[in-house]
Amino acid sequence: MSTRIIEPSELIINPDGSIYHLHLRPEHIAENIILVGDPGRVQMVSSYFSKIECKISNREFYTHTGYFNNKKITVLSTGIGTDNIDIVVNELDALVNIDLEKRQIKSAHKILNLVRLGTSGGLQSDVLVDSFLVSQSSIGFDGLLNYYKDRNIISNLNFEKAFIEFMQWNPLLPKPYVVDCSEMLLIKLGNGLKKGINISASGFYGPQGRVLRLQIADPIINDKIEKFVFEGKKITNYEMESSALYGLSKLLGHNALTICAIIANRVSKTYSKDYHPFVKKLVEHTLQKLTE
């Protein structure tokens, strides 16, 4: 165990012994955790559980822990954005790898499996609406990982360099970073599903090239993204959380994977007529594979 005592201002514990934002204690979470953006989707996922042990909520963070296929599993809503992922991943890690009473890092490291199930917009014509896509890598437009030491160790620096040069990257924007998913979870959950590379944007409108009343700094950013190729791979879709999930998980020693239901295609300008049945199929697939 580390001899450092983590200060109350750095690790905030609620009066009931739970961690600050998530309001969870170590016994409230499983080793396998499904992350969803929408708090309303937590209930949909946990409806498949044979038994629910706890339901806890605070702000946008809703957590249900129960059993599927006789294995303990947690589903937790993160809300939107990599800033929320920073809270969720750090606090989940603290629950298993920090002694909250002594405020010390534990000597034995525990690994979590974090699987994000989301919705996303395709950036290539062959990324079809109402299909599933597994993100082998994620490009962060958000800049979050750049605040952490050793980001270069777990990032694909050659990919970053090629992307920045091809895009003629605006120096006013955060520097992109690229992180790969967990190979173990990719094999376990991604067999038979289309693989791709996503971009985690820092917003839904301008950062993803959408124009309403405000013009954007680079009107052809999505055209350039569509054309970019690195080692034979293209960028396939936009979303808003995976880069931080992958980056923080690797730095903290956890496994992470994102699978998205594609509900729109930015090239064909199409949108799903009803994506909810496909999200349910994605949940069923993930629960089954995660607990096999």
Give φ, ψ of 147 to 5 degrees: -85, -10
Mean pLDDT of 268-291: 94
The pLDDT, as a whole number, for residue 3 is 83
- Close Cβ partners of 157 (under 8 Å, ≥ 6 residues apart): none
The pLDDT, as a whole number, for residue 180 is 98
Q: Are strands 131-140 and 177-180 parallel, antiparallel or unpaired?
A: antiparallel
The pair of structure tokens assigned to 38 is: 């929408």
> pLDDT digits over 40-68, tens only?
999 999 999 999 999 999 999 999 999 99
Which of these ranges, 1-10, 78-87, 275-284, has the smallest mean pLDDT? 1-10
The pLDDT, as a whole number, for residue 87 is 98
Mean pLDDT of 179-184: 98
The CATH topology of domain 26-290 is Rossmann fold (3.40.50)
The residue assigned the tokens 């190729």 is 229
Residue 15's pLDDT band (boundaries 50, 70, 90)?
Answer: very high
Residue 231's pLDDT band (boundaries 50, 70, 90)?
Answer: very high
**Selection from 106, 117, 100 nearest residue 32 by Cα:** 117
The burial of 4, by beta-carbon neighbours within 10 Å (0-12 exposed, 13-18 middle, 19 or more buried), is given as exposed
> pLDDT digits over 269-278, tens only?
899 999 899 9
The residue assigned the tokens 């999930």 is 245
The pair of structure tokens assigned to 73 is: 């599993």
pLDDT at residue 267 is higher than 90 = no
pLDDT at residue 17 is higher than 90 = yes
| 120, 260 contact by CB (below 8 A) | yes
pLDDT at residue 95 is higher than 80 = yes
The pLDDT, as a whole number, for residue 2 is 62
Which of these ranges, 19-28, 104-113, 248-257, 266-275, has the smallest mean pLDDT? 266-275
Cα(161)–Cα(215) distance, rounded to whole angstroms?
27
Q: What is the mean pLDDT of the chain?
A: 96
| 2, 105 contact by CB (below 8 A) | yes
Cα(42)–Cα(34) distance, rounded to whole angstroms?
9
| 145, 86 contact by CB (below 8 A) | no
The pLDDT, as a whole number, for residue 116 is 98
The pair of structure tokens assigned to 132 is: 């599933």
